[in-house]
Each structure stands twice: as C-alpha cells, then as structure tokens.
Amino acid sequence: MTLFERIIAREIPAQILHEDDLCIAINDINPQAPTHLLIIPKKPIIRVSLSSHEEVSILGHLLWTGGEIAKKLALDQSGFRLVINNGPDAGETVPHLHVHLLAGRSLHWPPG
C-alpha cells in the first residue's frame, strides 16, 4: 500500500481538509507555498499516463475539487496553481496520482 492508501485507510493520521466519495485533500508535509494541499483520489491510480478511460471522471473530479477548495479558502481571486507530476523526472515521489494545489505567493513560470 502506498502512503496515500494508508492515509485514506486511516492507518496513518493526517488532517483531512476535504473528503467525498472519490477523493480526500490534505496538507502537504513539505509545503512549497503558504498553501500547499494534496488532492488524492481514493482509487489508486499510479499516474496520469497509466490511467484508463474509465478513470476520466475521477481525473476531472480532482481538478474540479481543487477549484472548489480554492474558492472555499478564498484563493480564487489572487490565484492558485494545480499541478500533477507524472514520473520521477517530473518530481513524482509517491506512485499514487495526486493533484497539488499551491497558492499564497507569486508562482513564477516556468516552474523549475
């Protein structure tokens, strides 16, 4: 089981900021911005490039959830970023797809 599966199963404690039938959202333990949340699907999907067509609705739900959380935290006015890392060279450290929600500071482009 991945770290995220263990958090979802409540084997590892975490402050869950959002939960619904498809996903949870928690604070990142190594934040890269003042607000840095992880939106994690309950169904284990290794990464975007390994997802199936049957998982399209889950992938869309993760992005929609990021927007809803940003609105609740009043981050939608100043801006926020949603990021999905795919593979080790992209910074993927846990083989369980998740969306990073970053906000609270100016986020430059390109990220690097």
Give start and end residues of each alpha helix (H) in the chain.
Answer: 3-8, 56-72
Q: Is it true that the peptide bond before 88 is cis, omega within 30 degrees of 0? A: no
- Could you say which of 18, 36, 61, 98 is catalytic? 98
Indicate if 98 belongs to the active site: yes
- Extract the runs of DSSP E, i.e. beta strands, from 1-112: 16-19, 23-27, 35-41, 80-83, 99-103
Q: How far apart are CA 46 and CA 70, in angstroms?
A: 25
Which residues are part of the catalytic machinery? Answer: 98
